[in-house]
């Protein structure tokens, strides 16, 4: 299985929140996409369109309408939709997805120091391939996280300009996910 660190070419990840932005992501420099929209009926089509354009697709399964939190749902996603991987806040789904051969990203919301410690502990137990931390506007926290874990860090949330992306990258993030299509073509 490829490592996430080896597949990141553009350090900006297209975080697709609306169907209308899929075409923008297809045309963007960003080679990795986070799909945060869809349902049981249309998500496979979205994944196929993005993959056909050469994009690596991570489905944020917490946002896909109609998906349950069960091993069979993960098995279905792996076998029928065939994304590159999944993103979720649920550690049990990380375990199931790892067993199905999907790359996994554990999304963690950082609200205080105890939340950060708990998030790292959970990630070390469920063994995702990377951690996405939100909000992404925290260079000092990103630096601290990279010292606490060997897992690649992806920062996202509230990213609104190139300078914020550069701050996150300088702090040690592998990549920055953003839902703003204007930031998907920065040549980073």
Three-state secondary-structure class, residue 18: coil
Residue bearing tokens 């009926």 = 41
Listed as ranges, residues in the chain with pLDDT below 70 are 1
Give the dihedral of Cα atoms 22, 10, 104, 42; nearest 10 deg: 10
CA angle, corner 54, sides to 44 and 9, nearest 5?
A: 125
Q: What is the pLDDT of residue 89?
A: 94
Q: What is the pLDDT of residue 119?
A: 87
Q: What is the pLDDT of residue 184?
A: 96
What tokens were used for 179? Answer: 């839902």
Is the Cβ–Cβ distance between 159 and 180 less than 8 Å? yes
Q: Is the peptide bond before 135 cis (omega within 30 degrees of 0)?
A: yes
What is the C-alpha separation between 92 and 96, in angstroms, rounded? 7
pTM: 0.90
Q: What is the pLDDT of residue 116?
A: 83
Three-state secondary-structure class, residue 105: strand
Is the Cβ–Cβ distance between 123 and 106 less than 8 Å? yes
- Domains of the chain are 4-183 (3.20.20.70)
């Amino acid at each position: 299985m490829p490592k996430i660190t080896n597949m990141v070419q553009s350090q900006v990840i297209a975080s697709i929140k609306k169907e209308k932005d899929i075409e923008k992501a297809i045309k963007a420099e960003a080679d990795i996409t986070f799909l945060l929209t869809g349902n049981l009926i249309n998500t496979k089509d979205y994944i196929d369109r993005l993959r056909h354009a050469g994009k690596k697709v991570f489905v944020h399964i917490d946002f896909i309408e109609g998906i349950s939190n069960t091993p069979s749902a993960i098995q279905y996603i792996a076998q029928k939709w065939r994304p590159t991987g999944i993103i979720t806040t649920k550690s049990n789904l990380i375990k199931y997805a790892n067993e199905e051969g999907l790359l996994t990203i554990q999304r963690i919301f950082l609200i205080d120091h105890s939340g950060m410690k708990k998030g790292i502990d959970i990630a070390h137990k469920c063994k995702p391939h990377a951690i996405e931390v939100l909000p992404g506007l925290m260079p000092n926290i990103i630096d601290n996280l990279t010292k606490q874990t060997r897992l690649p860090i992806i920062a996202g949330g509230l990213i609104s300009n190139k300078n914020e992306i550069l701050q996150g990258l300088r702090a040690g993030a592998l990549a920055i996910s953003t839902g703003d299509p204007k930031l998907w073509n920065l040549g980073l």
